Structure 1
């Protein structure tokens, strides 16, 4: 154990953990992804180090997903589908080695809907994945876009666990002032995508999907009331009324990133402690920093002991059937 690091209690289930298998790293680097989203480098990742980090931090189990930019750096739909298939197979192989410690969330080759529907079927029915991760947009096609309706329907039919992960917005060169996109733009793009999911009616049309929003809800906790005020003024004639605050209250939220001292209290003004789950963001958050942030959550008076137990473990066990009870029907 690293000096000064005390494992989380109760041991956590991590719903925001990433993996970068060799085939993915090789393809990303071959296609110029040496500084993705303006960050210094793609981090190294291997399975023994990931398990060691979990042991040191007090993470009982983790759901692995591919972070930004996913497979979108490839030009052709066929290449994206092939790489998505490869990383999903690699994730399933990792779970087979550590079935009590790991789950995997499939990568989908959007915006190609036919390839994505094929990958949903293969990932769930052949690989036995535990859910999927969706990025905020794919070549400018944002979550909530009508073009993604067949995908939403397929995921809803499976009552799928779906985690959302941000990517760089399409117009990032004009708005970042040379700064890395995860600093600010990731949070804004998450907010943009989730608001579009809600106001497009997708959250209401597909209530069986079990959504997890990253980074303590990004800017949603402080903007929800403002959007709720504006939305009816610009709704299409005859469109169903959407209560954004109520819709957001049905989602789950991970605590990856910097939830303290301000983001988590704001989130808890929007949702109850039954809607929050732990997230490390490893390896994009280094092991030492992930351990420090975890300890801050452990020691924060914002969460009493029942709330910590819910956030670290109990809520995730209801979402990840591999580690907990199946969802209620």
Structure 2
């Protein structure tokens, strides 16, 4: 077991993938000599060469299209999109080609492409550098969509994603890049698409993923001083969703609040709330509530704290749910 930042964990995971499979490639803008904007790929080109870790033009559609072609030729590309808001030019390639090829070929073609995307806010960045667009990808059949919330999951989930024969959108919560955590060297503690109960409780379930898991743990710690025990579930996977773990938690606590950075309107919380209403109707003692960003473009950095959910907003929703 080692203690490391999420950036270092991701770097180690990529290094392990490159070392284990000579057909694994790392590609993207500035991933080579620079090591990426966040230094996730630092040192990889030096150790594995320019033919396996290489810079691409500033053309996201071309980057993903090239990765699809490489996958068709038997390679296992790992694509880095430099910032969340830069992925839109590649959206057509991702949803029309990458996600559809397996079904289009009646199962004959697999595209083992991993697309790494730093996402969400909290770092004081400019426009198009703090967006949460996970619902766009989770809505697209044919894509696996996952997001770690700490270093151990970052390491093992990225290795699992690269080893998967299906395309995976790997969302990295950039504001957690420098948080340190333990990484277990013995092996992954759970499957790629398995949710995790990270804080047991009995009064209400908080459902979160990526950057909001820590916010919910902080809210649960505050609630504990007030005599309320909140259960925190880290979804980890957004497509597919581990509804079994979620359902068992909500059937135990009888209440749920879903928390994410993306706008509440048509966000992941809408699907989770609808499914819980269907599957836990006779167990619920209050409506499933949602906490998230506002239905507006991501704001300038000087006011992003007013936009992003914090423990106070989470606990306000908890109070409303417990009042029923």
Asked if Structure 1 and Structure 2 have the same fold, meaning a TM-score greater than 0.5 normalized by the shorter chain, the answer is: no
Larger Rg: 2
TM-score (normalised: structure 1): 0.31
Relative contact order (alpha carbons < 8 A, sep ≥ 6): 1 or 2 greater?
A: 1
TM-score (normalised: structure 2): 0.31
Q: Which has the higher strand share?
A: 2
Q: Which has the higher helix share?
A: 1
